[in-house]
């Protein structure tokens, strides 16, 4: 199986052929501007110390400062962080926001650390990266297993280092520290807006759509909840432990209540309990991977029953699987479009921090809707005109925009 970064290189190479881009430009598109690797050491609750690998990768700031989340996960190694940073540059260009790509990570299992120890890791990350990030340089945000609370620790630590207030150095903050209304649900809301556009052009009725969502965190739970309220039937859900399925439909809010009380989605009664692998290939119309990367691969793509896939997770589908899905006629809204609502509202948060003036939630939602709708239409039209799958269309549009900025700066 390819690594996540090898997948990115493969996609850029394919796009470059389509757009007839020079080798020099391709090389610039697959080379990060900076790879920052640090060892961070924290004191554990029992007085022992532990050293963890920490990363920040910065990818192409020709359209604006680097932007992207920080992941706390045992699989968050340098290759994965590089792939995620590169995807951020593409994503910002797909939705036309003036930012480049960035991503950070710490390789550890936060579930085996206490709240205090996670705070120590967060502060240590911000201290060690302080000289490389900042409001006009590189703006981190939450990602897998990082939260608004963690953003608060990072902001606080960063401001101690630089000695002044700079709320726009990080997004996904709690409201009390300069967060934006609507940020918590933005990724899922953006995914819903593009799904609704797709349903519209395909002439389908949402009340007849059965949905499976893999992952029950910020992206997955919120998406399931929004779609349920709109009238879609949520037939499958999962967390890191188990998956559940019900032909009659699940109420995500009830499932969350049970998960909070008892520990897993599989503690809900009257449902079929499956593995995550089984869930992906269960019967549905729409599959929403919203957990980790490399979930849909050449060994399971053929068995996927959904006719629409909405990639809320980053990198859930491998290039081999893409080819199989295209052959089967599955319409896939790629991560760089489907989950771009998160970075779009992060961008709104940054704009509000810089203005020192905050918008009402309706304003955030309406501005997000305008951007997601236009981005879907741009990608859809480009893909239709060039007879491309939506991922290839999105990549080609984004690469054109990035290359234009690089050329204007005389970088290529």
Binding stretches for ligand NAD (CB under 6 A): 143-145, 187, 214-220, 238-240, 276, 290-292, 312-314, 339, 342
32 or 184: CB nearest ligand NAD:
184
224 or 325: CB nearest ligand NAD:
224
Dist. CA 320–CA 253, nearest whole Å: 35
289 or 393: CB nearest ligand NAD:
289
Shortest Cβ distance from residue 410 to ligand NAD (Å)? 32
Which of 368, 397, 363 lies closest to 63 in space, CA to CA?
A: 397
DSSP string, 154-176: HHHHHHHHHTS--GGGS-S--GG
| Helix ranges, 319-360 (H) | 319-328, 335-338, 340-355
What 51-54 contacts at long range (C-beta under 8 Å, 24+ apart), as own/partner pairs, is: 52/106, 52/107, 52/108, 52/121, 53/77, 53/78, 53/106, 53/107, 54/104, 54/105, 54/106, 54/107, 54/124, 54/125, 54/128, 54/129
5 or 403: CB nearest ligand NAD:
5
Shortest Cβ distance from residue 216 to ligand NAD (Å)? 4
Shortest Cβ distance from residue 305 to ligand NAD (Å)? 18
292 or 364: CB nearest ligand NAD:
292
Please say whether the beta carbons of 184 and 358 come within 8 A. Answer: no
Please tell me which residue in 67, 82, 103, 173 is annotated as part of the active site: 103
- Name the residue with the smallest CB distance to ligand NAD: 217
- Secondary structure letter of residue 114 according to DSSP: -
Q: Indicate if 204 belongs to the active site.
A: no
Dist. CA 18–CA 65, nearest whole Å: 27
Shortest Cβ distance from residue 99 to ligand NAD (Å)? 14
Dist. CA 286–CA 188, nearest whole Å: 14
Shortest Cβ distance from residue 390 to ligand NAD (Å)? 17
Ramachandran region of residue 163, left (φ > 0), alpha (ψ -120 to 50) or beta?
left
Catalytic residues: 103
């Amino acid at each position: 199986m390819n690594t996540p970064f090898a997948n990115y290189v493969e996609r850029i190479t394919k796009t470059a052929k389509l757009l007839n881009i020079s080798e020099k430009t391709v090389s610039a598109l697959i080379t990060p501007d900076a790879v920052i690797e640090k060892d961070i050491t924290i004191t554990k609750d029992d007085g022992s110390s532990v050293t963890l690998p920490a990363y920040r990768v910065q990818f192409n700031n020709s359209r604006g400062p680097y932007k992207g989340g920080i992941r706390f996960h045992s699989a968050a190694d340098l290759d994965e962080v590089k792939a995620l940073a590169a995807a951020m540059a593409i994503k910002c260009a797909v939705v036309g926001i003036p930012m480049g790509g960035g991503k950070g990570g710490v390789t550890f299992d936060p579930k085996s650390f206490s709240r205090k120890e996670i705070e120590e890791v967060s502060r240590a990350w911000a201290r060690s990266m302080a000289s490389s990030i900042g409001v006009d340089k590189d703006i981190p945000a939450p990602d897998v297993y990082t939260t608004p609370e963690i953003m608060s620790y990072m902001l606080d630590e960063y401001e101690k280092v630089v000695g002044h207030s700079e709320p726009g150095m990080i997004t996904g903050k709690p409201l009390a520290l300069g967060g934006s209304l609507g940020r918590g649900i933005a990724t899922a809301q953006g995914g819903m807006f593009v799904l609704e556009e797709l349903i519209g052009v395909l002439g389908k009725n949402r009340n007849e759509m059965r949905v499976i969502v893999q992952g029950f965190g910020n992206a997955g739970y919120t998406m399931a909840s929004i779609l349920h309220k709109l009238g879609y039937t949520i037939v499958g859900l999962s967390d890191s432990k188990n998956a559940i399925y019900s032909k009659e439909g699940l109420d995500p809010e009830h499932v969350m209540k049970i998960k909070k009380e008892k520990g897993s989605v599989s503690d809900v009664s009257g449902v079929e309990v499956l593995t995550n692998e089984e869930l992906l290939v269960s019967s549905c119309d729409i599959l929403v991977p919203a957990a980790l990367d490399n979930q849909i691969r050449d060994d399971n793509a053929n068995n996927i029953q959904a006719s629409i896939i909405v990639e809320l997770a980053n990198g859930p589908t491998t290039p081999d699987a893409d080819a199989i899905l295209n052959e089967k006629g599955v319409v896939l809204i790629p991560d760089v479009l489907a989950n771009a609502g998160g970075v779009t509202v992060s961008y709104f948060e940054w704009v509000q921090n810089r203005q020192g003036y905050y918008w009402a939630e309706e304003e955030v939602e309406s501005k997000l809707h305008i951007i997601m709708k236009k981005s879907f239409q741009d990608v859809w039209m480009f893909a239709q005109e060039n007879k491309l799958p939506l991922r290839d269309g999105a990549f080609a549009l984004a690469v054109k925009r990035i290359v234009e900025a690089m050329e204007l700066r005389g970088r290529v």
